[in-house]
Structure 1
Amino acid sequence: MKELQCAFVSGCKNIMKKHIVFSCLLLLLIISCATTGNAPPRLIKNSLIVLYPPEARIKRLEGTVELVVLVDKMGDVRDVKIAVSSGYSSLDRAAVEIARNAKFKPALVKGKRQAVWVTWPLEFKFENVKFLPEEWVEEILRLHQQAQQAKGIKQEEIIQKIFYRYQDFANHVVDHPKVKYNQYMRNVILKGINQRWDNFWATWPIPFVLFDDFCQRYPNSIFRHEAENYLIKYIKYEII
């Protein structure tokens, strides 16, 4: 049985425990923690916004990018430099973008805020995950609601998760053609999309409806073009 895989960025603890786990580790601390009144900068976890590069995910690219980051007295990232490349420009660019949008509690030296440089390794890799359709439905419905409420890059991060989870389900359906999964898909897609494919629901699995739904919901997403390609791909696979 082929297990589904999903992308995640590691190296911050327990930001998401289910399918994507982000972790970041500050290795080189310029300030000694043992000295009274001294403290290193601390990542504010809910500020971490990760967009795994679509082209890298398609090609299954993995790697670690070692960054050197300047955190100012307010905890904002003022400069980011690549110390060691992952070997892939798309992963390097994504790592820099992740760091630029991060927010920290500022470092303290003798009780006063201090700007410091820290090193930050970000690892992009894939891991195997179990697939539970009931939990998938709950997750997708929750993500759709969050996407409606979010704005800007945070919204695009949520939309990315939806797209990748749609991919996960579609691949799982293809790998298990004898299992009746259509009802789960019907529970998460728009009513109009549901009706559009009404003549096919009782015939065979039709995972392409997920990408039709994605294009309808998020026409301005950076993943729109990729979703259209998957829509065509799965239609050809299932019908033609």
Structure 2
Amino acid sequence: MINRDLIPEAHPHILESPGYVLVLRRGIEDVDRESDVARIALEALHRFSAGFCRPLTIEISSVYWDRENDLPILGVEPRYPKRTLRAAEPGCDMNISPIWIDEKVFISNQMASPDISRFVLDAIADDGSGMTTCCDSIWVTSSMARLPFGCKLNDNGSMTVQDRAWLVDHPTVVRDGHRWVCGPLDITSNAPVEFIVNRQFAELSLRIGIHWSLWGPGGSGFSEIEDRVSALLAQGWELDEVA
């Protein structure tokens, strides 16, 4: 069960890394095609984030995969093993650092779910090598999250949050009639919500890191997190860890 302990606070606060962490797992031993494995991962990201959290970058790692032994093939790699899809106009002054050097960067005008799916599936498409390409990790370390209704804003539209010992006025942006917060910014070192999907042997793991107390236990947005986790459990994922 997810811990529902209340967090007393005068202002929402930034949760220091790693934040409030949920880890879910799903077996893929009966999935034959790597494209279907990728679709399972993408569907999980979409089900959790749709209408609530928008990735502003997607970084993926791809490898050649030995399906018989369920292991990556060492010593040879796809042409672009590290790829990034980045929002053309994130709408806020982001401070984004790449995970890997020599990433191949692609730009998306919308960062909509079909754009993200196409980006990932293109990375593992048949490249003529005769080997199977696998997406072994997907990272979302910059994102924007929709604020729960009723959040108190300052006159200039910013929101006062506590970051360790300091109070900072964090900017918000308006999208689709709602207020959203973005990250990482110069004043905050993490996205409001981060995701990491890893493929290890016959299993996918989904790590969700929540860095604002609004969506942690006791926060006004926590019920939405619970609902979205429940949706993943209904799709065959298992909740493995809460920290």
- Higher relative contact order by CA 8 Å / sep ≥ 6: 1 or 2? 2
Larger radius of gyration between Structure 1 and Structure 2 = 1
Both proteins in one fold, TM over 0.5: no
More helix by share: 1
Q: What TM-score results when the alignment is normalised by the length of structure 2?
A: 0.23
Higher share of residues assigned strand: 2
TM-score when scaled to structure 1? 0.23
